[in-house]
Amino acid sequence: MRALITGAGGFVGRYLALELLERGAAVIATGDHDAPAWCAEHALTWSTLDVRDGQALERVLTQAAPDAVFHLAAQSFVPESLEHPRETFDANVLGTLALFQALRKLRERGLDPVVLVTSSAEVYGAIPEYDGPLEETRPTNPRNPYAASKVAQEAIAQAAFHSWGVRSVIARAFNHTGPGQSRRFVVPSFAYRIAQIVAGGDPTLWVGNIESQRDFTDVRDVVRAYALLAEHGAAGQTYNVCSGYAYPVKDLLRDLILLSHAALYVKEDAQRLRPGDSPVLVGSNAKLRAATGWKPELRIERTLEDVYDFERAALVSA
């Protein structure tokens, strides 16, 4: 398989590229910046690409002639979307539209790649009362600009399938984490601060709402699901990518503290609270399992240990 990844320089992109290489794929990684160092380490082909540039997309796609396109390029941080909604829509929606317009032209020339569009469980919106794992048939109800951009992204993918025949598959990912994720996200944020405290830093750990429960999956399991969906997912369909289990955020914090043997104080910071936050957000992965045979393999304890080790090493080398 020849696979092209947009947004390959991001957190998930690196893991996906390595997963596809292990599966024997020829990988063309793209991003709107110069090639990251790990590309050279793995002899990976890199093309600098802004997905909003239709002509550049046509050129790169024609040269790559991929069997599968993994569309990861996005602004993916909810608070950032609240501060910069227009830029979020520009990246997530206009970039997706430009991609599918280029793919339409590619299809007219006889190339017909499957396109995996990575969406988010944020599209489900706030769930005030838990009534079971969320299935793909649940209506979307976006509550922030990022979620709204993902709903629009999904709509473009569906329209491209029904109008132009572009074989789009939507992966609706729930929370995922792993070594190397931005510290803007909860697990690496906790891990880095705890590592700082162990190293003698301020023993106060400021947190947001740690009573919420979230469906976490290791990023290495997530990219395995993406690869399987590109092979076995049905065009025009949407699949939740999730563990199917709700982890209380306070339990993840507790486990990181136990891993580190840190002595600290946990205090709530009102500025870290997110308006309209769901108390419980957990998905059903039954459709994904049925289509691909996928199931999560890495336990959350392993994920937390790996993230903490990564952040501790980053602190030492800084």
> What confidence tens digit (pLDDT) does each residue in 151-203 have?
999 999 999 999 999 999 999 999 999 999 999 999 999 999 999 999 999 99
pLDDT of residue 87: 95
CA distance 288 to 233: 8
pLDDT of residue 74: 94
298 or 268: which carries more pLDDT confidence? 298
Angle between helices 219-232 and 11-22 (to 10 degrees): 60
pTM, two decimal places: 0.95
Q: Looking at residues 45-58, what average pLDDT do you find?
A: 94
Angle, CA 272 vertex, CA 270 and CA 275 arms, to 5°: 85
For the segment 63-94, what is each residue's pLDDT rounded down to a tens digit?
A: 999 999 999 999 988 889 999 999 999 999 99
CA distance 166 to 106: 10
pLDDT of residue 276: 63
pLDDT of residue 150: 97
The share of the chain scoring above pLDDT 90, in percent, equals 86
What the block records as the tokens of 279 is 């108390």
> What burial class does residue 30 get, using C-beta atoms within 10 Å of its C-beta: 0-12 exposed, 13-18 middle, 19+ buried?
buried
E strands in the chain = 2-6, 26-31, 45-48, 68-71, 114-120, 167-173, 176-177, 204-207, 213-215, 217-218, 238-241, 246-248, 265-268, 280-281
What average pLDDT does the structure give for the chain? 94
pLDDT of residue 73: 95
CA distance 146 to 81: 5
* pLDDT over threshold 80, residue 275: no
Residue ranges and CATH numbers for the domains of the chain are 2-176+216-241 (3.40.50.720), 179-214+245-281+298-317 (3.90.25.10)
Q: Looking at residues 114-135, what average pLDDT do you find?
A: 92
End-to-end CA separation in angstroms for the chain: 39
pLDDT of residue 16: 98
